[in-house]
Amino acid sequence: MEALEIARWQFGITTVYHFMMVPLTIGLGLVVAVMQTIWYRTGNPTYLRMTKFWGKLFLINFIMGVATGIVQEFQFGMAWSEYSRFVGDVFGAPLALEALLAFFVESTFLGLWIFGWKQLKKGVHLACLWIAVIGSFFSAYFIIVANSWMQHPVGVEMIDGRPVMTDAWAVFTNNTALVAVPHTLFGALAVAGGFLLGIAWYHLWRRRRDGIDTVGADGKVIAGSADIPGRDRTDHTVWIRSLRIGAVVAMISFAGTALTGDLQGKLMFEQQPMKMAAAEAACHDGTGFSVLSVGNVGSRNCDDIVALIEVPGILSYLAKGDFTTEVKGVNSLIEQYKSDYGTHVPDNPIYGERAGQEIQYVPVMEVTYWGFRMMIGFGGVAALAALLALWVTRSGTVPESRWLMRLAVLGILAPFGANAAGWIFTEMGRQPFVVAPNPDLNGIDQVFMFTAAAVSPGVSAGEILTSLVVLTAIYAVLLVVEVKLLVKYVRGGVVSAMPELANAPVDENEDATPGPGGSGKSGTADDVLAFAY
């Protein structure tokens, strides 16, 4: 393989991996902030337990997002230096602003939240979490502004062969970004919803299996308590509420992704028609949405593909909002792209061996076709499962079935799958461009860049292969570690995040030695520190 292929695999693997941690951070952060707010306003201990337990899992996951995020920022310069040179004037700004305006906020205030349970007033402490969560939203916004510019470049002029920003407002309010941001945030919430639902289900099931909770003659749950720390009646409330919150969040966020996804589809039809056609493996112009297409969709040869089941009109609806507009298929688009952006890779040394080769304008349809369907499929299945879960748990607990429990836990993965599939679809569907052309501007001189031109010319394939192997191996090990820790803390239940539940309350203010230079309050302030580390 050459450097380009390896660098693409590396970017794909590290990004999909990073984006397993990120949506859980964004979604769970919001959920925990709401839980803590309810606790703050009502003083209800159920919500304190929920805050602590889900907050613990949130933190175990958060750090992985942080650790893998640095790779993303460095990678542009390391492996894609030619890309960085070309787009730096406009693409660097949102990345720098993300660090300056969002990530600083997130990291600093989350540090305050983790360590400030006792040092800060309750309201201030809660505010710190909200600020961190809102920071994570802004983080998402800036990154998506950067990505959307690659999908649909706006606000620039070509000067000396490079796009130069001339209209920051256009860049930061790119309509591609404005619909992608809510789509991504809803996608993140869906992950959190499934996470809550699956884990809460497991605990309710455990309580039933251990005979703590039973179902009475009227079909309603009789919550009990066991002589184990944290296994009281409140514990039951923690899980059933978490489950219901999770199910509702999952359903709302699916509706949100569907609505915003619909808007995205219509934009994509205008902005990246080839991606839309490839999402459908639609070779010929038409109106029908393919439910199942067979043939070798990966062959990039349209003559091999037969749409077995097709619903007429639906594709037109996805693209235009009516049922009759002819949506251009791959075959007619290829000709259009060739005449607009050239038939062959320019004879420029930055293209290496690819210089002069014919350009393949059709993305790998196997990926776009199935990626598109997996995104929708996983999302839909998760939402449907959430609805069923609400119905099944109307008695106040879950059935005793071990298989249903396993299914609920496995279901946690569905929204992750939908997120990954969506990103793989949209990034692979943009190929062969790294910066897709904006069709509103005409002709070959407009702003676009082929992926083949973006890789670092001075870096050898061996170097990139080294980093690919090293990063993939480390990521794999860390994934195992993270999942093991999550499982351990999940199994431990609330008490694993709240050891004070197990301690007699007498211990609280013993050995309170005021620290030097302190504010004169009791010295227990360090307990929280010690608990965190």
Segment near other proteins (CB under 8 A), from 22-30, 159-167, 245-253, 363-371?
159-167
- Please name which of 85, 80, 91 lies closest in space to residue 161, comparing C-alpha atoms: 85
404 touches other proteins by CB under 8 A: no
Segment near other proteins (CB under 8 A), from 28-36, 296-304, 383-391, 521-529?
521-529
Considering only residues 47 to 66 of the shown chain, the ones binding other proteins according to CB under 8 A are: 59-60, 62-64, 66
Nearer to other proteins, 209 or 394 (CB): 209
Q: How far is the CB of 133 from other proteins (least distance, A)?
A: 15
Q: How far is the CB of 115 from other proteins (least distance, A)?
A: 4
- Contact between residue 257 and residue 183 where contact means Cβ atoms under 8 Å apart: yes
Considering only residues 304 to 363 of the shown chain, the ones binding other proteins according to CB under 8 A are: none
Site string for other proteins, 75-104 (x = CB under 8 A): -xxxx-xx-xx-xxxxxxx-xxxxxxx-xx
- Position 478: which residue type? L
Q: What residues contact 499, with CB distance under 8 A and at least 6 apart?
A: 531
- Position 415: which residue type? P
Nearer to other proteins, 377 or 492 (CB): 492
Say how many CA atoms lie within 13 Å of 69 toward its Cβ.
Answer: 19
Q: How far is the CB of 446 from other proteins (least distance, A)?
A: 18
What is the rounded distance in angstroms from the CA atom of residue 148 to the CA atom of residue 154? 9
Considering only residues 225 to 264 of the shown chain, the ones binding other proteins according to CB under 8 A are: 226, 228-231, 235
Distances from the Cα of 9 to the Cαs of 1, 12, 370, 436, 473, in angstroms? Answer: 11, 5, 19, 19, 14
Residue-wise DSSP of 190-254: HHHHHHHHHHHHHHHHHHHHTTSSEE-TTS-EE----SSTT-SHHHHHHHHHHHHHHHHHHHHHH
- Position 279: which residue type? A
Q: Which of 43, 111, 216, 312 binds other proteins (CB under 8 A)?
A: 111
401 touches other proteins by CB under 8 A: no
Considering only residues 496 to 515 of the shown chain, the ones binding other proteins according to CB under 8 A are: 496, 499, 502, 513, 515
456 touches other proteins by CB under 8 A: yes
What is the rounded distance in angstroms from the CA atom of residue 319 to the CA atom of residue 315? 6
Q: Which of 108, 331, 332, 336 binds other proteins (CB under 8 A)?
A: 108
532 touches other proteins by CB under 8 A: yes
Residue 165's beta-bridge partner residues?
156
107 touches other proteins by CB under 8 A: yes
- Position 254: which residue type? F
Task: At 171, list the tokens.
Answer: 């860049």
Q: How far is the CB of 37 from other proteins (least distance, A)?
A: 21
What is the rounded distance in angstroms from the CA atom of residue 418 to the CA atom of residue 401? 27
What is the rounded distance in angstroms from the CA atom of residue 389 to the CA atom of residue 186? 20
Q: Which of 130, 137, 138, 489 binds other proteins (CB under 8 A)?
A: 489
Strands 289-294, 306-311: parallel, antiparallel or unpaired by DSSP? antiparallel
Q: Which of 123, 161, 458, 505 binds other proteins (CB under 8 A)?
A: 458
Considering only residues 422 to 441 of the shown chain, the ones binding other proteins according to CB under 8 A are: none
Nearer to other proteins, 59 or 452 (CB): 59
479 touches other proteins by CB under 8 A: no
Distances from the Cα of 8 to the Cαs of 18, 75, 386, in angstroms? Answer: 15, 11, 36
Q: Which of 71, 133, 154, 389 binds other proteins (CB under 8 A)?
A: 71
526 touches other proteins by CB under 8 A: yes
463 touches other proteins by CB under 8 A: yes
Q: What is the DSSP letter of 357?
A: P
Considering only residues 163 to 222 of the shown chain, the ones binding other proteins according to CB under 8 A are: 164-166, 168, 206, 209-211
Nearer to other proteins, 159 or 255 (CB): 159
CB neighbourhood size of 201 (10 A)? 30
